[in-house]
Structure 1
Amino acid sequence: HADPMAEGLAILARQGNLTDAALCFEAAVQRDPDNNEGWTLLGQVQAENEKELPAIAALQRAVQQAPQNARALMALAVSYTNEGRDRPSYATLGRWLQVQYPSMVPEGALDDPAAMRGDALHDRMTQYYIAAARAGPQARVLPPRDASGAPADIDADVQIGLGVLFYNSGAYDKAVDCFRAALRQDPQNHLLWNRLGATLANSGQSEDAIEAYERALALKPRFTRARYNLGVSCISIGCYKQAAEHLLDALSLHERPPADGARPTTHAGIRHVSSSLWETLRRAFILMDRRDLVDRSYSADASVD
């Protein structure tokens, strides 16, 4: 493409294939390694496409280049949480708060987060985020506005950060409250519906989680992570065939046609597929008592590069 950045944005605007969008943003940052928006979008797209490690790498690059990039900082904190990397998640949430609510973070409080115990760092971040929530969005450097352009009643980002902190400590009911509060401010946010679903699923509310994932997919049908999460929740309630269908759909979203435009006849067209997708699909096949499909999945996986 003559302008891969513009093409990637166009793909997102028409809700196209996330793998194609990621390839465009990869091309954009290869052409211009200082393209901070390109790194940020690449990280966000990779995370949505159930490719967490490439997402983290791109978002780390974005915040290294622009330490004040609040959007990349929050996305990176969430990605760290998804990978079980709690301490980096807490430290990154602290950096976001320093950028957006500097008055909430005492001078020097986060100078050396690596020296703090994980639970102490978590408790400190929770304290700071609760203070920011109580202060209200008017305390933010640039106060957010709602869809109508009026000043927002709450800061959805603060609720997201607080929700992540509660989620990490296993306080799922509190995390659900935070994500629901953020959704009242931003009800068209597919990422928030997915986070709500994941939190409900972890608290054992699989049917409510499925409803949240379906809301996310209604807003963004090619949202691979939500499709994968929906499959996992279907396994939890014993709907194994439906789970396999959702997981196969998620795998298909990673598929790209060969360069000549012909449709691939095998899984050879899938690139950099999340291993968790294959593993969970095989679990669904085993629960369906379909060893034949498990065996076939290995031969398909063998062609993934």
Structure 2
Amino acid sequence: MIQLGGVDRSQTSQFQLWYTLGQVLVRDERDDKGIKALVRAVKESTGQPEGNSAVLELAIAYVNQSYDMACFITLLRFLRSAHPLHANLPELDSIRGHALWSVRDIVKDAFLSLAREQHAKNVVDPEIQMGLGVLLYSEAEYDRAAECFQAALSINPENAVLWNRLGSCLSNGNRPEEAIGSYRRALEIWPNYTRAVVNIGVACLNMGAHKEAVEHFLSAIGMHDGSGSRAPSKAIPRGVKSNEDIWKTLRRTFLAMDRHDLAERALAPDRSAEGFRGEGFEF
């Protein structure tokens, strides 16, 4: 049974419960379960002030898992809900059955059109910039996507998701040092943001800083099983197993270090982050 510590269910709407759970799961690298929670939140979102934000976060969760078609359709659903009076927004049914690239172009054109209208009025809408950034990221337009996330951050600088997405753009755009700065800012805002910890590890791995990469991956695993220095007391849902992908990336890092002994230990059924603390890793 997944629970959210510190949440009074009797005083919280079904929408807010599912939305909060979805946000925490996605930030904790548990995207499949996070998506299910966010889908439920969207179903309960009628009349909720944060309803459109939940739709947008669902789109981002989809792209995290490379569910691109679901992401693009969800972004269009967000536009139709948040900006129903914007001209020439396509109907959802009109794009079903189209090729992936076609749907992406249709949705991107709609976001670009609205962003240009807002720019002409000196308006920067962080949600529109976030959605556009996600679309550009999906096309590997990392520099342009980074500009969108930076624009959104100029309005909403305390949004950890935006900082993390900016970091991903910078990392994929061969700017790992800048990416790490963005990930660290995300962690300042949300200290239990497991995804940002993992992303720092990936950036370190790409720079050849293998020991630092291992320490961040072990820290993320510790956050999952409650053994790491960052391990939260209440913010992370209980009853969900640790993310296998982090262990796979950790094992790949050990192999890059020519530490086949540690790579084998990362496969053991009784593996834990604590088991590697005696190998000189600090986390």
Do they fold alike, i.e. is TM over 0.5?
A: yes
Aligned residue pairs, count: 260
Structure 1 unmatched runs, 5+: 1-21, 140-151, 258-268
Aligned residues: percent identity? 35
Counterpart-to-counterpart distance in 1, 2:12 and 2:6: 10
Task: Provide, for residues 7-28 of structure 1, a one-character-per-residue CA deviation record: whole Å limited to 9, x for no partner.
Answer: xxxxxxxxxxxxxxx6227997
RMSD: 2.9
Query: 1:102 Cα deviation (Å)?
Result: 1.1
Q: What are the within-5 Å matches in structure 2 for residues 104-253 of structure 1?
A: 104=86, 106=88, 109-136=91-118, 153-253=123-223
Per the alignment, residue 276 of structure 2 pairs with none
Name the SS of the counterpart of 1:103 in structure 2.
Answer: coil
- For 2:46 and 2:95, the matched residues in 1 are separated by 16
| 2:241 pairs with 1:272 | yes
Task: State whether residues 137 and 155 of structure 1, in contact with CA within 8 Å, keep that contact through their aligned partners in structure 2.
Answer: no
Is there any run of 5+ residues in structure 2 with no aligned partner, and where?
228-237, 274-283
Which aligned pairs between 1:52-91 and structure 2 lie closer than 5 A? 52-66=31-45, 69-91=51-73
Task: Measure, in 2, the Cα distance between the counterparts of 1:248 and 1:286.
Answer: 15
Q: Does structure 2 conserve the Cα–Cα contact (< 8 Å) formed by 1:43 and 1:54? A: yes
Partner residue of 2:234? none
Q: Distance in 2 between matches of 1:66 and 1:226?
A: 27
* Normalised TM-score (structure 1): 0.77
Answer yes or no: is the 8 Å Cα contact 2:38–2:58 preserved in 1.
yes
1:201 CA displacement: 1.2
In structure 1, the partner of 2:232 is none
SS of 2:208's partner is: coil
Task: Flag the 1:96–1:105 CA change in 2: closer, same or farther, 3 A.
Answer: farther
Shift of 1:42: 0.8
Contact kept in structure 1, 2:129 and 2:152, CA below 8 Å = yes
- Greater RCO between the two (CA within 8 Å, min separation 6)? 2
Contact 1:285 1:291 in 2 (8 A): yes
Please report the TM-score for the alignment, with normalisation by the length of structure 2. Answer: 0.83
Maintained 8 Å contact 1:255/1:270? no
Report the alpha carbon displacement of residue 34 of structure 1 after superposing the two structures with TM. Answer: 7.3
Matched, 1:294 2:273: no
Shift of 1:67: 5.8
CA distance in 1, matches of 2:67, 2:6: 25
- Determine the structure 2 residue equivalent to 1:24: 4
Which residue type is aligned with residue 287 of structure 1?
A: A
* 2:14/2:44 contact within 8 Å kept: no
**Contact 1:235-1:284 at 8 Å conserved across structures:** yes
SS at match of 1:272: coil
**Is this contact kept in 1: 2:130–2:148, CA < 8 A?**
yes
